[in-house]
Structure 1
Amino acid sequence: MSSTIYSTKCYIKNNPYQLSIRVDSDDANSTNNSLTTDVLEVKFTDISLDNIIPSITRLCFEPINEKKDTIVPEEISLNHLLSVQQLTKAPNKNKRNFNDNNEPIDRNIMVTTMNEPSKQASCATLNTLASENTIQQTPKIRRLGSRRRFFFNQSYIDGETDPIYKTVIKIRYVDVSNLVRWSVKKLEIEVETEDITNELYFNLNLCLSTLEQRPHKLLAFVNPFGGKGKAKVVFEKSVLPIFNAANIAVTTIHTERANQAKEYIMSEDLNDYDGIVCVGGDGMFAELCHGLLLRTSLEANVDIDDPEVNIIRPNLKIGIIPAGSTDAVAFGTTGLNDPVTSALQIIVGETLSIDIATVHNEKGFVSFMAVMLAYGFFGDIIQQSDKWRFLGPLRYDLAGFFQFIRNRSYNSEVTITLSDADLSRTTTTKNHSDVDSESPVLPDFHHLLNNADPKTNNTNQKETPLKILENKILEAKTRFCRKNCETCAIVHTHDTTSIDPLSTIKLEGRYTTINCLNMPGRCAKSKFGMSPYVHLGDGTFDLILVKRSWRTGFLRFLWQVAKDGRLINDLPNVEHYCAREVFIRPKCEHRKALGNLSCDGELISGDEIKIRIHRQVLNIFASGIQFDKIEENNPIENSKKRKCCPLFPKRRREHQQEAT
């Protein structure tokens, strides 16, 4: 049921509209229900704070005439209203004012003054009480050039021109018609009298004052050297004007060296800020993430060097304005790397809770992982690209080509701990002769089933545990993480002090790369990322192992990641797990034969690495991916039926057989 708490007639682009502020509520006991009536007849002069519910309040524009301006939206959610301004403008000489009967009315040079009691009116209702006394005022004359001013004054004296200024309400709002890319739009609203203008202005600002989730003061770190060096220009020309229009105070710090933002966050007072914003790439976000989490751990006396410690969620949120080389964090949390979209989501106060993993070596704490930890190929790329920084972003492509030619692999031991809920999302390669090649199974799960309770393998059961597991895998592997994700909302409980032996898998072999992903890894060069179905807040991360193979086999993996990462599990040299803990121990006799470890684009070291996930311990300003119908737009079945690349001859033959 919709309740109208304010309504008035207005004019937009010379067209009359009925503007109303409505609250959608189904509560029968709500006081708003008593206000429900015909929108075209109701007219209120004040609003009470008790009647405003920010999440379900909206502005509605209904055309009075049949002609409707398509630029004017039918409704604007209060959460998407950015700012309200009261402006004075010179009238258009061709514009006409109308009375309630849609007839032209005479413009009198009369203004209404406020009486003394109106100044003492309650701020909660913001009543605009009009005085009964009106006085004549001298009209304002526009200041023109000397010759034009002379003729203008003569025409005014002759009564041929009416130079009255008009007061209009200018609103800026967020256009979310595109579910992914947000934009700012504005409307100029005119009403019949000055009193109604004041009413509308105060009532709209009263509605804005109820949006408590919005930040009022932000601390922004700008990295002028990251990516292509465009962060400063992006912030000053595209982002800062939007913050200023939304009346958000921003304290800006341009970093001059690495870890400057991290040190500032750990040492300075941040109580005056509602959030911290990074303008740059994934490395800049990692600095803010480390500084905020480490500061919170120190204040709570948490021993961060303990691999089994549970970190605490900070009170401040982090916003990301993408201006880097890959912007994997922005792609993974908003769907694209658009600075305007990210800025608007910060202003609106969109909040997303994401998982963060701790990385420990044999000496203690090493790093936090927000996006990806890599051992082998991708770590070698980071190590090589650091030597070629003078080449800019091109260094990553050259380093990748160099490491691909080398085609190195590393003997490693990997121990994977699966949570209870993760068993239904674990997928691996299908390389067992005793199982159907079309069914994804765990390589070592047959051994686990044989060691389990015999009662669970009763032949009288309708389905074997392995078959049930396969059904759960096939059902869960096509679920994307999106806004208001149901998977991330489910609370998984498990004992962090003990490990179930049935949920632990130990692998050993030669791997070209070992990747732990907490985000999909989307970027401009990978539409879906390396792990498209990883969830941001479910307390798990994906582990992707690429076994040693010929260059053509690894090239197939790289090609599939770039084109459609949803199908990498079809490759024979790829193993894919969903875990809450991973232990990586390289097994090389000589240190020079060890691969490089990188975490979120930064090199780390250690003979033994443990990665442990912490569920939803960081809040960021983001909405999540807003593809409401992403499966329909990009179904995995359609991807499999498309024409295959020559790099996949086996799959090409299968499709040819299906076609015949």
Structure 2
Amino acid sequence: MEAQSRLSSADPAGTNLSDTLTISNKPFSVKLTDKLFSWWYKTKQPFSDKQTKTWACKNRVLVEEILAVEYVEKTAETKNGDIEMVSVNATAFRIHIIKRAPKHIWRTKSVEIYCSSSAQCALWVDSIRSLLDKYTNRPKSLLVFINPYGGRKKARKVFDEKVASIFDLAGITSHVIITERANHAKDYIMSRDLSRYDGIVCVGGDGMFAELLNGILWQYNSSLGIDLHDSTALLKRPDIRIGVIPAGSTDTVAYCTSGINDAITSALHIVVGDSMAIDVCSVRHGYSGQLLRFCVSMLAYGFYGDVLRDSETFRWMGPNRYNYSGFRTFLKNKSYQADISYLPSQALQTDHHPLQDGSRCYTGCSICKSASLLDLNGSIDYDGSISPALPDDNVDALSSLTASLTNVSLVSRQISTLSNVSPDSWTTVSGKYIGINALTISCRCATVPEGVSPACHLGDGSADLVMVHEASRLDYFRHLLRIQAKTSSQFDFNFVKVVRAKAFKVRVPSAVDPIASSAAQTASSFQRLDEPRNLMPVALSTWNCDGEIIEEPNIDVRVHCQLVKLFARGIEESYTKLDQCTSTCISCAEET
């Protein structure tokens, strides 16, 4: 007797489809709801002369993690003896889903399910597709930039062999551009209308990502008439998301936003439409206020700046040039005189999370969720009320946050600029530093699994400012070793100071801008440091800004809370399996 699919009438607005279907020649109970697709098999078989053993297979997958569903085409022989594919009146369908593996890796899995009739098959396929159509956050059209020269020069191969087929499976149209020079992607973005794309994807390393990020922020804000060289301007977050397919030598952005530098995993995060916003730093000339660059990972003066500058001589060595230049720079053990003024996070709100709490940033981080509403780019009045200028994607969070607003101190809170912050809120220190490092993300990578600053959050509106004072070569070597260690802190040295800051500025005593004037200083949004007092010639380093050199040592830096959106969800702290079967399950197809 032909089996019939059963639709529940208990909830007419929801989907509740169930039936007994065939998988790998075995009868499975299959069920589809608005949230879950599940299939399970259970039977008793002889185990010995005196007992039987229950063999079971259970699988459940969230509907949001279904990539696609398609009919299984039949093969038919033509009159000429050729084999052709026929999909008319198909009685089987294939569902493509995400399967998690250890170490935050995602893979695809496909399951073929056979029905008793074509009508029954069509009902299942149409029902699944209808549910998938509700996920409007999934991209349909992507602009893809491939950097064939970065990292290990495998970006094009990575996209062609690992990513393109996944995008095709999900029905995503990709417009692919192979970059031919530095800033090719940025120049393209600046001169094009991006409204027809749902996202921009970079296939390459962190440098390629930084180029896209700078291009998108410049293009979007300029199109709104915002003068980016005006330090008092309120920057706007672009609607378009950025996807990162790691193919570089470090891939710290991929590590920090998904937990692994795996191209397939990153492609799947893009396909399912994951979305999260991360902090971005604006780096300005210390005296003119001119915007130099946007920074999203690490901004470093001293050691890391010297490594980058020295490595430019050895580009022919590929990624190994960083290790070689790092060794050369370490032996020199240089330190640099500087005055640093920073605005601690607690100067703007008393409920900030202290750096010492050691909290990590994971998927659904409550600290970052709160910061998305209580940030310098937001629109919170002095009386604690929230204006309608709140971003649309945060409106739903208002009800959950209202209760906690009474615990938030909004003292000296100027929203569009920092000019109204009391000068007493700033802290100024001076000395000789091996390194001055500001991190807006933890900067995880393969060699530093916990990151340079493990407790740094992706979207809390602040940066971890690490000041490494002058020290012996041995002590600094111990500090570097601890950066790679998981059991001890690299900050537990008396020559290392780390603070969580909303903004900071650096002045090198001998680097005086010849055109600097009191009028130029007044025009800036920051409370300027006094003119350098020591005019004795001193050694200068350069800034390493996301792998790009900034020669100007005097800079003003401000953290813009969640200024750009990515196709990511953050690192999943722990994955609780949904009733998964073993790897030998008869329904499991070979992973791709």
When the two structures are superposed, what TM-score results if normalisation uses the length of structure 2? 0.77
Match of 1:614 among 530, 539, 560: 560
Where does residue 115 of structure 2 map in the other structure? 191
Q: Distance in 2 between matches of 1:409 and 1:399?
A: 16
Match of 1:532 among 454, 467, 489: 454
Q: Distance in 2 between matches of 1:492 and 1:166?
A: 54
Letter in structure 2 aligned against 1:552:
L
CA pair 66-354 structure 1, distance change in 2 beyond 3 A: farther
Match of 2:126 among 182, 197, 202: 202
Where does residue 599 of structure 1 map in the other structure? 545
Q: Secondary structure at the match of 2:72?
A: strand
1:492 Cα deviation after fit = 2.7
Q: Secondary structure at the match of 2:490?
A: helix
CA pair 412-299 structure 1, distance change in 2 beyond 3 A: same
Match of 1:305 among 220, 229, 254: 229
Match of 2:570 among 588, 609, 624: 624
Where does residue 40 of structure 2 map in the other structure? 62
Q: Contact 1:379–1:595 at 8 Å: present in 2 too? A: yes
Where does residue 367 of structure 2 map in the other structure? 487
Q: Contact 1:419–1:503 at 8 Å: present in 2 too? A: no
Where does residue 87 of structure 1 map in the other structure? 72
Q: What do the CA deviations read for 1:183-241 (whole angstroms, capped 9, x no partner)?
A: 10000000111211121122221122111010001000000000010111111001111
Where do residues 394-405 of structure 1 align in structure 2 (5 Å cutoff)?
394-405=320-331
CA pair 165-346 structure 1, distance change in 2 beyond 3 A: closer
Q: Contact 1:421–1:492 at 8 Å: present in 2 too? A: no
Q: Secondary structure at the match of 2:123?
A: helix
Where do residues 89-104 of structure 1 align in structure 2 (5 Å cutoff)?
89=74
Q: Secondary structure at the match of 1:582?
A: strand
1:591 Cα deviation after fit = 6.7
CA pair 366-20 structure 1, distance change in 2 beyond 3 A: same
Match of 2:466 among 544, 559, 563: 544
Match of 2:420 among 481, 498, 512: 498
Q: Distance in 2 between matches of 1:357 and 1:532?
A: 19
Q: Contact 1:89–1:167 at 8 Å: present in 2 too? A: no
- Bigger drift between 229-238 and 568-577 goes to 568-577
Q: Which entry has the higher C-alpha Rg, 1 or 2?
A: 1
Q: Contact 2:103–2:259 at 8 Å: present in 1 too? A: no
Q: What do the CA deviations read for 1:539-573 (whole angstroms, capped 9, x no partner)?
A: 11100011101100110111011223861221121
Q: Secondary structure at the match of 1:340?
A: helix
Q: Contact 1:355–1:615 at 8 Å: present in 2 too? A: yes
Residue 170 in structure 1 maps to residue 84 in structure 2: no
Match of 1:258 among 182, 186, 193: 182
Q: Contact 1:422–1:579 at 8 Å: present in 2 too? A: no
1:4 Cα deviation after fit = 5.4
Where do residues 236-247 of structure 1 align in structure 2 (5 Å cutoff)?
236-247=160-171
Match of 1:19 among 10, 30, 45: 30
CA pair 372-83 structure 1, distance change in 2 beyond 3 A: same
1:63 Cα deviation after fit = 2.4
Q: What do the CA deviations read for 1:605-642 (whole angstroms, capped 9, x no partner)?
A: 22420110111110000110112399xxxxxxxxxxxx
Q: Secondary structure at the match of 1:570?
A: coil
Q: Secondary structure at the match of 1:527?
A: coil
Where does residue 339 of structure 2 map in the other structure? 413
Residue 570 in structure 1 maps to residue 492 in structure 2: yes
Where does residue 387 of structure 2 map in the other structure? none
Q: Secondary structure at the match of 2:120?
A: helix
Where does residue 310 of structure 2 map in the other structure? 384
Where does residue 78 of structure 1 map in the other structure? 63
Q: Distance in 1 between matches of 2:437 and 2:211?
A: 21
Unaligned runs of 5+ in 1: 24-56, 91-139, 150-163, 427-471, 631-660
Q: Distance in 1 between matches of 2:271 and 2:62?
A: 14
Q: Secondary structure at the match of 1:610?
A: strand
Where does residue 436 of structure 2 map in the other structure? 514
Q: Secondary structure at the match of 1:568?
A: coil
Unaligned runs of 5+ in 2: 1-9, 46-53, 376-412, 511-534, 577-592
Q: Distance in 2 between matches of 1:351 and 1:173?
A: 19
Q: Name the structure with the higher helix share.
A: 1
Where does residue 347 of structure 1 map in the other structure? 271
1:143 Cα deviation after fit = 7.6
Q: Secondary structure at the match of 1:595?
A: coil
1:89 Cα deviation after fit = 3.4
Q: What do the CA deviations read for 1:323-354 (whole angstroms, capped 9, x no partner)?
A: 00111111111111011110000000111110
1:144 Cα deviation after fit = 9.4
1:66 Cα deviation after fit = 5.0
Match of 1:226 among 124, 146, 150: 150
Q: What do the CA deviations read for 1:415-460 (whole angstroms, capped 9, x no partner)?
A: 011133778799xxxxxxxxxxxxxxxxxxxxxxxxxxxxxxxxxx
- Bigger drift between 383-392 and 476-485 goes to 476-485
If asked which structure has higher relative contact order (CA below 8 Å, sep 6+), I would say 2
Count of residues in Structure 1 that have an aligned counterpart in Structure 2 = 485
1:88 Cα deviation after fit = 2.5
Where does residue 590 of structure 2 map in the other structure? none
Q: Contact 1:353–1:618 at 8 Å: present in 2 too? A: yes
CA pair 179-399 structure 1, distance change in 2 beyond 3 A: closer
Where does residue 585 of structure 2 map in the other structure? none
CA pair 69-284 structure 1, distance change in 2 beyond 3 A: farther
Q: Contact 1:528–1:566 at 8 Å: present in 2 too? A: no
When the two structures are superposed, what TM-score results if normalisation uses the length of structure 1? 0.70
CA pair 179-404 structure 1, distance change in 2 beyond 3 A: closer
CA pair 273-565 structure 1, distance change in 2 beyond 3 A: farther
1:9 Cα deviation after fit = 2.0
Q: Distance in 1 between matches of 2:44 and 2:432?
A: 72
Letter in structure 2 aligned against 1:409:
S
CA pair 568-406 structure 1, distance change in 2 beyond 3 A: same
Q: Contact 2:143–2:201 at 8 Å: present in 1 too? A: yes
Q: Distance in 2 between matches of 1:169 and 1:591?
A: 75
Q: What do the CA deviations read for 1:509-530 (whole angstroms, capped 9, x no partner)?
A: 0000000000101111111111
1:535 Cα deviation after fit = 0.8
Q: Contact 1:180–1:625 at 8 Å: present in 2 too? A: yes
CA pair 419-473 structure 1, distance change in 2 beyond 3 A: closer
Over the matched positions of the two proteins, sequence identity in percent amounts to 34
Letter in structure 2 aligned against 1:595:
S
Q: Distance in 2 between matches of 1:73 and 1:573?
A: 56
Q: Secondary structure at the match of 1:569?
A: coil
